[in-house]
A and B are shown apart, each in its own frame.
Chain A
Amino acid sequence: DIQMTQSPSSLSASVGDRVTITCRASQSISSYLNWYQQKPGKAPKLLIYAASSLQSGVPSRFSGSGSGTDFTLTISSLQPEDFATYYCQQSYSTPPITFGQGTRLQIK
């Protein structure tokens, strides 16, 4: 199974900050990498698919990059509604689909 490792596990930032979250795969997954946002008590929401494609309706301050084993999610200017937990997910070598452990983004 492909292991997905996110860093950091938690992060404190302020409104307006630029934030980057990293996801590393245990082997190459080409660009089969997706990012989700989850707020407490809510279902996850798809933000980015295929490493860099912005899902419809998602603000353009979110962007994704990378290929192979290393990927990043960047939020260009944090907004109050962006404080949440973020997960990466690989859909290259399946089953199983695997997720990263999550990155909790908190207000500083």
Chain B
Amino acid sequence: EVQLLESGGALVQRGGSLRLSCEASGFTFSSFAMSWVRQAPGKGLEWVSAISGRGYSTFYVDSVKGRFTISRDYSKNTLYLQMNSLRAEDTAVYYCAKDLRMGATLDAFEIWGQGTMVTVSS
């Protein structure tokens, strides 16, 4: 069974840092691009960042460029999101998501994790 399990969400002060993790299982991790998508309380979905299957390409929404870094560890089948200089507007549930098609990047999101909550206090 394909599964994604996020962890690392917490309450953090404005300007602080946090690293989210997403452990993948049930598929060939290196064959699929992965993304982070967030949802602020009571709001819609916002794509945050993506990384290609082999990790050669990374992408970010403008609002997090220079502050967030996406990466992946193939030995651990784990996706990461390093978040620095956190702002109140980064408060959200963060989901990791697996692309639908092998070899594609920034595709439909076939599988989602359960989400992890990040709260930035001001």
A95, B44: Cβ atoms under 8 Å?
A: no
CB nearest to A34 among chain B residues? B108
CB nearest to A96 among chain B residues? B61
Is A55 in contact with chain B by the CB < 8 A criterion? yes
B44, A101: Cβ atoms under 8 Å?
A: yes
B108, A91: Cβ atoms under 8 Å?
A: yes
Interface SS, B side: strand
Q: How many interface contacts (CB-CB < 8 Å) are there between A and B?
A: 57
**Distance (whole angstroms) from the CB of A49 to the closest CB of chain B:** 4
Interface string of A82-108 (1 = CB under 8 A from B): 000001010100111111111000000
User: What bracket does the count of chain A residues touching chain B fall in?
Assistant: 20 to 34
Complex: A46 Cα to B44 Cα, angstroms: 15
Is B9 in contact with chain A by the CB < 8 A criterion? no
Assuming the contacts A43-B113, A91-B106, asked whether A99 and B100 have C-beta atoms less than 8 A apart, the reply is no
Interchain CB contact (< 8 A) of B112 among A43, A100, A102: A43
Is A18 in contact with chain B by the CB < 8 A criterion? no
Interface string of A6-43 (1 = CB under 8 A from B): 00000000000000000000000000001010100001
Contacts from A to B (Cβ < 8 Å): 34, 36, 38, 43-46, 49-50, 55, 87, 89, 91, 94-102
